Amino acid sequence: MEKLAIFGGTPVRETPIAYGKQCVEQDDIDAVVETLRSDFITCGPKVDALEEKLCEVTGARYAVVVSNGTAALHLAALAAGFGEGDEVIVSSVTFAASSNCVLYCGAKPVFADIRPDTYNIDPESIEKLITPRTKGIVAVDFTGQAVEHDAIREICKKHNLILIEDAAHAIGTKYKGRPVGSIADMTCFSFHPVKTVTSGEGGAITTNDEQLYHRLMRLRTHGITRNPEEMVHPTDALWYNEQVELGYNYRMTEFQAALLLSQLKKLPKFSARRKEIVEKYDKAFSEMPEIFVQREIPESDTTRHLYILRLNLDKLTCDRRQFFDALYAENTRPQVHYLPVYWHSYYEKLGYQKGICPNAEKYYEEVMSIPLYYSLTDADTDDVIRAVKKVVEYYRK
């Protein structure tokens, strides 16, 4: 058996690979530079063109581009009307922003458990948490896999709930042939550099509902309107605009929009490469009884954002921490996605207790994300697989 690098052996590779990385090419850079030389550097023609492009990519009727994914979730939660006294059911395994947006509005997040094999929100768990105060659901397409829309739509219909889909991981994914972004009441995207396409910082909300669209547009710019029909004191004065509610400045710059427009042209190739890598990892790891491979539902045609390596701890002598550290020393640099949201100390202070989502908690103790991004070479993915094998063999029972 090979000596692990963490105990002084030679690492599988010399240079570290991170779990994620953006791909910015010369044409992306040119698009940004060209925009910086133009008349508009914020909220101009590039943002308009980007919104149009996002409608094309997602099949949604409307798109509202904002400064980041968290801003997208915040505005969606406000437009959904979440507020004091409302409960909103949220995925428990996700980035804190999915749930923080509910808190921003003064409503209460209620955490639903995940399925033990897909790691997505479990519709049966949602159903059990519904009370007369439940107003909506924030469902996350975890790792990029679409949530179980058919089951969730049934629940929403039955209990009159609004569905916000957090698709920060899922641009390019389809559910039963329909692109994510055209299915939920509102769908939120993030364009942070680690996601499949990036604008540096950036986000968007898509919707098919005209009223929600107008509300989101207004909330993006301070709650100010130029539409006389929305005003309390309408006038035909050309300079007049009116703040009719409390909004924010969540606008995106033109150069970010230019970058994202350029990136979106490459979504098909980014998506294809990610699928190729996932297939290769799945094949390698399904042969190892020490590793669980994430289950894909047949309805989801997934552009994967994260690859989750889940350990079968019954077959290993180590725990997740030891495995993580060993893999890290081999220069495959993993990350963990995610701590169950309510385990964060802030949520603990709000009164959430451990034990409410057993599948999520077990999941958290057994996982790490391994490198998955467009520019990983075949040699890189071979190294990742060799590193995982090396650690598995060392700790095999």
Ligand X SMILES: *Cc1c(COP(=O)(O)O)cnc(C)c1O
Could you tell me which of 284, 323, 287, 288 has the C-alpha nearest to residue 307? Answer: 284
Token digits of residue 379: 């040699």
Q: Please choose, out of 95-103, 157-165, 211-219, 290-298, the segment that lies near ligand X by the rule CB under 6 A.
A: 95-103
Q: Nearest approach, Cβ of 375 to ligand X (angstroms)?
A: 20
3-state SS, residue 104? helix
Give the one residue of 22, 58, 94, 196 binding ligand X; rule: CB under 6 A: 94
| x/- track of binding to ligand X for residues 195-234 (CB under 6 A) | --------x-------------------------------
Q: Which is nearer to ligand X, 90 or 316 (CB)?
A: 90
Q: Please choose, out of 42-50, 65-73, 109-117, 270-278, the segment that lies near ligand X by the rule CB under 6 A.
A: 65-73
Partners of 307 in the beta sheet?
Answer: 370
CA distance 240 to 236: 8
Could you tell me which of 186, 179, 188 has the C-alpha nearest to residue 207? Answer: 186
Q: Nearest approach, Cβ of 91 to ligand X (angstroms)?
A: 8
Q: Which is nearer to ligand X, 206 or 225 (CB)?
A: 206
Q: Nearest approach, Cβ of 285 to ligand X (angstroms)?
A: 23
Residues in 135-154 that interact with ligand X by CB under 6 A: 140
**Contact call for residue 68 and ligand X (CB under 6 A):** yes
Q: Nearest approach, Cβ of 376 to ligand X (angstroms)?
A: 19
Q: Please choose, out of 6-14, 66-74, 232-240, 249-257, the segment that lies near ligand X by the rule CB under 6 A.
A: 66-74
Q: Do 296 and 302 contact (CB within 8 A), yes or no?
A: yes
Could you tell me which of 206, 198, 171, 201 has the C-alpha nearest to residue 304? Answer: 171
* Lateral strand order in the sheet of 291-292: 291-292, 307-311, 367-370
**Contact call for residue 340 and ligand X (CB under 6 A):** no
| x/- track of binding to ligand X for residues 176-195 (CB under 6 A) | --------------x-x---
Token digits of residue 23: 């791909």
DSSP state of 375: T
Q: Nearest approach, Cβ of 188 to ligand X (angstroms)?
A: 7
Q: Please choose, out of 1-9, 30-38, 90-98, 173-181, the segment that lies near ligand X by the rule CB under 6 A.
A: 90-98
| x/- track of binding to ligand X for residues 151-180 (CB under 6 A) | ---------------x-xx-----------
Q: Nearest approach, Cβ of 378 to ligand X (angstroms)?
A: 27
CA distance 134 to 150: 19
Give the one residue of 62, 95, 352, 373 binding ligand X; rule: CB under 6 A: 95
Partners of 291 in the beta sheet?
Answer: 311
Q: Please choose, out of 89-97, 218-226, 261-269, 296-304, the segment that lies near ligand X by the rule CB under 6 A.
A: 89-97
Sign of CA pseudo-dihedral 21, 143, 286, 333: positive
Partners of 369 in the beta sheet?
Answer: 308, 335
Q: Residue 119 half-sphere exposure, CB side, CA atoms within 13 Å?
A: 28
Q: What is the DSSP string of 186-254?
A: EEEEE--TTSSS--SS-EEEEES-HHHHHHHHHHHBTTEE--GGG-SS----TT--EE-S---B---BH
Report the interface residues with ligand X, using CB under 6 A.
Answer: 68-70, 94-95, 97-98, 140, 166, 168-169, 190, 192, 203
